[in-house]
Amino acid sequence: MPNLVAFKGLLPIDGAGSIYGYTRDIDRVKAGPICDLEARMFTPRMTEDPAPGSATAATAALIAQIRGLSELSLCVAQGVDMGRPSILFAKVDTHEGHARVRVGGKCVSVMEGVFQLAGDA
């Protein structure tokens, strides 16, 4: 869990209010399948997202760009430390300088609800 005081002292940076951290050093026994990265996403409320697809997509595109690759496939383990392990698959294809990123994986419903707006009958 990040340090809340340090978190608030650092963010926001360039409009970003959350932190997405990743590492290639993976605890393979804990993470389950062998993945390329293990990641964690923290919000200003110190809640953790077990599978942020948009952050995974941005990270895959960044890694492909840094490595100078026109194609990249990644397996990313997330949510492991919070007891909600998630595996996301990201694929980057770059054509004529434009990257297309696809993210997928399996998911389960963790909650369901119904609400009614005020004034509705």
Measured between alpha carbons, how far is 93 from 69 in angstroms, rounded to an integer? 9
Check if CATH label 3.40.50.300 holds for domain 4-105. no
The predicted pLDDT at position 23 comes to: 87
Q: What is the pTM of this model?
A: 0.75
Question: What are the residue ranges spanned by the domains of the chain?
Answer: 4-105
- Mean pLDDT in each 10-residue stretch from start to end of the chain (121 residues)? 77 79 71 79 81 91 94 90 87 91 80 72 54
The predicted pLDDT at position 70 comes to: 95
The predicted pLDDT at position 45 comes to: 79
